[in-house]
Structure 1
Amino acid sequence: MSPAPHIATADGGAVSGLRRVLANLAKLLGGKAAAGLISLIYLVLATRRLGVTDYGVLVLVNAYAVLIGSVVAFSGFHGVVRYGAIALEAGDRAGFARLVRFMAVIEVGCGVVAVLVAAILAPVVGPHLGWSPRTIALATIYALAVVGTVRATPQGVLQIAGRFDLLGLHQAVSPLVRLIGATGVWVTGGGLYGFIAVWLASAIAEGAAMWLLALPAWRQLAEGERVRGPWREPQGEGFLRFILVTNADITIRELAPNLAPLTVGWLLGPPAAGLLALAQRATSLLAQPTVLLSHASYSVLTEQVARREIGLFKRTVSRSTALALLVAAPIVLALAFGGERLMVLIGGSSFAGGTLLLILIAAARAAGLASAPLAAGLTALGRPQRSMAVGLATNLLMYPLLPLLLWTTGADGAGWHALAQGWVGLIVLAMLFRRDAADEEASDRQ
């Protein structure tokens, strides 16, 4: 796997690194743009058919399954990308194959456990979230939606293969299934339970599609190796610690966004959860690129660190962060002026009154978007524990503020909480990255 060329000059090299990140991001955003348009259509169908209360129930059922999946399931794509690239660089296709099989076994095994945990706990959690007995029964089956989160290993394979076009295509799978299903529910006069069935089908399709899309890339990278074969823990230095820390980092970072709607639903009921969910969806233009930018930049930054191009690496991260803020600012400004109209336009009159919540969520998303290159840079330096520590502080240690803000300011409290989390995290990540990158550069000079 030969490294991509870049301009050797100091400034030109930084531009080359940024261009490669943007090229990867463009491929991912192509699929996300189509997915966004599709999502808007099915979102209008669902919110206008269900209203704020039933839509809130739908959101809570889905958020519950996703939360269990993010906590119990295992995401190891960072390990696949880093140690898989090392194996391929050394020409060790058999080692690469064992690594991927090992990560697949761990991920699928944890996914099965997550499904069982979600099914068992649904009858316990459901009554506190305002679910009817029938909804609780469906939520038990909906535990299968955890399958949608079990896809990190094939995602890592596609990243190593440079198939960001397929990763972009994958972004449209779940929205397309939801659009087809939501249209059917709308035409047939269905309601909440029909939409729950559609959301379940989309989650299963999302998980299965990633594995199918990665199969050709696997065959190319692991040429001569079978899908089924020997697997064991790779012997690379620090492998287990690396994958455990990066998985914990991802889990902690996904915990707060998934826990927030459940906390709102628990304390304020499904209508407030529905209002928060629509505000989050309306700001998805800022939220989704956060994950995509992290994925697009990670492989580029890892390569620059491996080449010991630390100066180039620092400029690539700083310019990616600045560009993220530059892109986010006008979007937040537009939502500040047109937020109320947008909420009512999408969901109908029952969603009126969420303007401040929308603005706060958008400003928090902007901070998250700018944080993505910094977190990817720290991981590329082999210091994922830094990002994990920041995620732990902002998502867990700051969580007790959420109930307090909800009690004092209502649903807007979720927005204030997200704003504090996002900007505190961005500032701390920037400080840690600046220090660690400087230390790395200094060690190379000695």
Structure 2
Amino acid sequence: MAAKARTRLMPESMLGRMFANTVWLLGGKGFGAVCSLVYLAIVTRSLGLKDFGHFSLIFGTAQALIAIAGFQTWRVVVRYGAEHVHQGNWNAFGRLGMLAGALDAIGAVIGCLIAYVVFFHFADTLDLNPELIDIAFWFNCAMLWALVSAPTGVVRALDRFDIAVYVEAWVPLGRLLSAVAIWLTGPTLLKFLIAWAIIDIFEAVMYWVAARYLCPQAVRLRHLKEIGHALRDNPGIIRFFLITYATATVEAVKRYGPLLAVGYFAGTRAAGLYRLAQQLSQGLSKLSTLLTRSVYAEMSRARVAAAADEFRKLAVQTSLIAGGGGALVVVLAVACGAQLMSFIGGDAFRAGYIVMIPLTIEASFELASVAFEPVLHATGRARLALIARLTALGALGIAMLALVQEDDAIGIAWAVAIGGAVYYAIMGLMAWRTLNGLEREQAEAAAREGPGQGPDPA
């Protein structure tokens, strides 16, 4: 029996399929963006600068822990699952998905242990109110168990981004409805944290239900007893997993470390300003994340089923389009950033405009590089992506030491932009060399096979 994932009509070209998936994701995120602007305005105006700073530090810590302990198993499912789906080997695909789910659970346990250490031993470093420590700890635990990496990978490997949109739309809608209800009944930090945790847990349940609906042959509990076979089904999976996990950890430090640094150096009020500026600039980062999801899945399929020149063409076209979009958003941020900060958070947040500009520049570099990491992962060169992120993190650290002064969120923001520029330059060079190498390998293979014999696109 064929998986339900294959009942959706899709364009024939790789770029067409990628954009079809991206359009679905953008549709959902467009809806989410409208909802998020409203609930973000309610949260900032209801809590005020100080309490919103506490909310930002607690939520930011949760996001960092999720990135560190979450293992990014969806990448493993998409990278290795693409071939199983292509061949219709649902048992192997199921073992892979259940292995990813088990890793998610292990990551949640580890994350809870880290959260305990962070909040009960280093809360002073984050400038958190002692009365919020217990709340922050349990909120982080809930968010860690709400991880949806494994079922997300299953849905993406099955090329059902439309289903993913319906599931993920619950989060902004739920937050909007909760924010309105809390605003009307008396806003408190505790209410917002509880609502956010419940919404994310429900999304995780929905993702597993969707994965089971799309491919019941694969998403079965009995595969949990067979996850050891996944290591034999997918040669090199341990090495790939360790490299992508290390890469995700470095990225988490780069993405969420600056917010925690602002809390340490400048206090919760500055963290609140930084967080709102980051939220608005991350609209562009979210676009790059959406593109990464569709690009990653299509690159994995293209590496299995397409020739090297088509693979290169997809990467180049994606990079050019994403780079142009990034440049446009930077212009819009410079022109309208101050008004947007004031509109969302009120006059108290208007000063965050000068923080928003460098954060938007960094996000534009991230968007422009959206095809680079999928290229390296799909061609078995994930270690190069890790090297690039480590180098960018080093550049961020050096820039922070050079630019940051006491109570200075602006210097941290510009250090983030410098780190983004270094990452873009290094990843671009690595991806370019990788694509050239693939074409040389294909030409050499064609020459060995002789005239009239083409290379095997797989």
1:384-419: CA deviation from partner (whole Å, max 9, x where unpaired):
111111111112553243254331781111221121
CA contact (8 A) 1:147 1:203 kept: no
**Structure 2 counterpart of 1:256:** 254
Matched residue SS, 1:231: helix
Q: Which runs of 5+ in 2 are unaligned?
A: 445-458
CA contact (8 A) 1:120 1:140 kept: no
Mapping of 1:296-307 within 5 angstroms? 296-307=294-305
**Structure 1 counterpart of 2:76:** 79
Is 1:230 the counterpart of 2:226? The answer is yes
Q: Which moved more, 1:154-163 or 1:93-102?
A: 93-102
**Structure 1 counterpart of 2:288:** 290
Q: Which moved more, 1:312-321 or 1:66-75?
A: 66-75
CA contact (8 A) 1:21 1:300 kept: yes
CA contact (8 A) 1:344 1:351 kept: yes
**Structure 2 counterpart of 1:380:** 378
CA contact (8 A) 1:147 1:207 kept: no
1:6-37: CA deviation from partner (whole Å, max 9, x where unpaired):
77xxxxxxxx3222211111111111111111
Q: Which moved more, 1:143-152 or 1:235-244?
A: 143-152
CA distance in 2, matches of 1:5, 1:412: 45
TM-score, normalising length from structure 1? 0.92
Mapping of 1:431-446 within 5 angstroms? 431-446=429-444
**Structure 1 counterpart of 2:418:** 420
Shift of 1:151: 1.5
Q: Which runs of 5+ in 1 are unaligned?
A: 8-15
CA contact (8 A) 2:143 2:197 kept: no
Q: 2:389 aligns with which of 362, 366, 391?
A: 391
Is 1:179 the counterpart of 2:172? The answer is no
Q: Which moved more, 1:223-232 or 1:427-436?
A: 223-232
Shift of 1:149: 6.0
**Structure 2 counterpart of 1:12:** none
Q: Structure 1's 75 and 345: CA in aligned 2 closer, same or farther, altered over 3 A?
A: same
Q: 2:326 aligns with which of 325, 328, 334?
A: 328
Q: Structure 1's 271 and 176: CA in aligned 2 closer, same or farther, altered over 3 A?
A: same
**Structure 1 counterpart of 2:15:** 18
**Structure 1 counterpart of 2:451:** none
Shift of 1:351: 0.6
TM-score, normalising length from structure 2? 0.89
Is 1:156 the counterpart of 2:153? The answer is yes
**Structure 1 counterpart of 2:195:** 198
CA distance in 2, matches of 1:165, 1:25: 9
CA distance in 2, matches of 1:300, 1:29: 17
AA matched with 1:187: L
Q: Structure 1's 90 and 388: CA in aligned 2 closer, same or farther, altered over 3 A?
A: same
CA distance in 2, matches of 1:394, 1:258: 14
Matched residue SS, 2:227: coil
Is 1:97 the counterpart of 2:107? The answer is no
CA contact (8 A) 2:28 2:168 kept: yes
Matched residue SS, 1:222: coil
Q: Structure 1's 391 and 4: CA in aligned 2 closer, same or farther, altered over 3 A?
A: farther
AA matched with 1:183: V
Percentage of identical aligned residues: 27
Matched residue SS, 2:124: helix
AA matched with 2:126: L
CA distance in 1, matches of 2:96, 2:33: 34
Q: Which moved more, 1:55-64 or 1:210-219?
A: 210-219
AA matched with 2:399: L
CA distance in 1, matches of 2:401, 2:131: 28
AA matched with 2:83: I
Q: Count residues with an aligned counterpart.
A: 437
- How much is the aligned-residue C-alpha RMSD, in angstroms? 2.3
CA contact (8 A) 1:310 1:440 kept: yes
Matched residue SS, 1:128: coil
Q: Structure 1's 194 and 412: CA in aligned 2 closer, same or farther, altered over 3 A?
A: same
Is 1:36 the counterpart of 2:24? The answer is no
Mapping of 1:107-122 within 5 angstroms? 107-122=104-119
Q: Which moved more, 1:160-169 or 1:225-234?
A: 225-234
